[in-house]
Amino acid sequence: MIGEEKVRSEDLNLCFEKLMMVAAGNSGEGVKRKAAVITEWKDIPMELLLRIVSLVDDRTAIVASGVCSGWRDAICLGLTHLCLSWCRKNMNNLVLSLAPKFTKLLTLVLRQENPQLEDTAVETIAKFCHDLQDLDLSKSFKLGDRSLYALAHGCPNLTKLNISGCTSFSDESLEYLTKFCRKLKILNLCGCVKAATDCALQAIGENCNMLQSLNLGWCDNVGDLGVMSLAYGCPDLRCLDLCGCVRITDDSVIALANGCLHLRSLGLYYCRNITDRAMYSLAHSRVKNKASIWQSMKGRYDEEGLRSLNISQCTALTPSAVQALCDTFPALHTCSGRHSLVMSGCLNLTSVHCACAVQSHRTLNSILHTAH
């Protein structure tokens, strides 16, 4: 395995040739060092090496780090972004091997098609990669609470965490994580049915006040209490996906309308308890907060407000309420090619149209009338 076995000379030669091709292709000239043409991989200066490594794929960078101690030190300390999603098997062992070396990582993507990662790998990451800001562990079905406890202590600088599909995490471990990772801005909990509960959301609202984006898709243990805690604890929330959160009611949307003035995107797919009251509260919030938003944005008021809304399968809604919302937020579109207001499965809302769709219809009628 890379990092554990001696890299074969033919691998190094292939790696060197690839690095040289990349360098030459990007410089437009041959790669030179003090007027001497580089012909061997050992001749590459460290500054040039790091520049080249930033242009090649991660697999090649890992191979390059095994060339010699000088390359290993330079690459391991210089590489800040790493994606291992290409690893189809033995990813766990690869992480155990690489994490102690790549200690300056800021971004680490470990998304898997087949579950490979175990808690030992995440614990190793937390032990050595203390500067980590962006971590993707999506579809890591084998991970348990030990991983979140380790991240809480080892990676307090996380601003983006994707644990979507990690169904084994408990809400206790998620609550614990929020007490230490208070800089989180983007959190993906889609499908984390055990972790995403009202108790966990209360902890997020209390500890993660900088949160801007949260995905709670298909977390059917989420209720009004949790969403209301988010609304009042995370005032800078901009994107919230509540698709499939079947327990929430109008109270959740009303709290978001009142507490999250910068909300841009809201997913309510299959939230069948949502009624017109929620739509009118969103529309009213724009009018009520117009003065403060105008003052803070200095003329950018039109850029504020909802730009994306999914109310598919919300069958209790009526055309008048949704049309009022659509009229209030010009960025919500029903016209072809710009569907930012999604209403699939709501057959009673077919009469709802955005402003540009209405204008287009009027223009077409005018042309037809002129032609006759």
- Digits of tens for pLDDT over the chain (372 positions)? 444 444 444 555 666 566 666 556 655 444 444 444 566 666 677 788 888 888 889 999 998 888 888 888 889 989 999 999 999 999 999 999 999 999 999 999 999 989 999 999 999 999 999 999 999 999 999 999 999 999 999 999 999 999 999 999 999 999 999 999 999 999 999 999 999 999 999 999 999 999 999 999 999 999 999 999 999 999 999 999 999 999 999 999 999 999 999 999 999 999 999 999 999 999 999 876 655 554 555 445 445 789 999 999 999 999 999 999 999 999 999 988 888 999 999 999 999 999 886 554 444 455 555 555
pLDDT value for 256: 98
State how far the Cα of 102 lies from the Cα of 80, in Å rounded to an integer: 8
Which strand ranges, in their side-by-side order, compose the sheet holding 134-136?
A: 81-83, 107-109, 134-136, 160-162, 186-188, 213-215, 239-241, 265-267, 308-310, 341-342
What is the helix (H) or strand (E) element at residue 219, kind and residue range?
A: none
pLDDT value for 129: 98
- CB-based contact 217:241 (threshold 8 Å): yes
pLDDT value for 25: 60
pLDDT value for 51: 82
The alpha carbons of the chain give a radius of gyration, in whole angstroms, of 26
Residue 47 vs residues 43, 51, 72, 74, 117: alpha-carbon distances, Å: 12, 6, 13, 9, 34
DSSP code for 303: G
What is the helix (H) or strand (E) element at residue 105, kind and residue range?
A: none
Beta bridge partners, 134, equal 107, 160
pLDDT value for 3: 42
pLDDT value for 333: 94
State how far the Cα of 237 lies from the Cα of 255, in Å rounded to an integer: 12
Helices (H), the chain: 9-27, 46-53, 58-64, 69-78, 91-98, 119-128, 145-154, 171-180, 198-207, 224-233, 250-259, 276-288, 290-297, 319-328, 355-371
What pTM does this model have?
0.86
3-state secondary structure of 267: strand
- Of 329, 168, 176, the residue nearest 257 (C-alpha): 329
- Of 211, 203, 249, 210, the residue nearest 229 (C-alpha): 203
DSSP code for 194: T
State how far the Cα of 113 lies from the Cα of 88, in Å rounded to an integer: 8
Beta bridge partners, 136, equal 109, 162
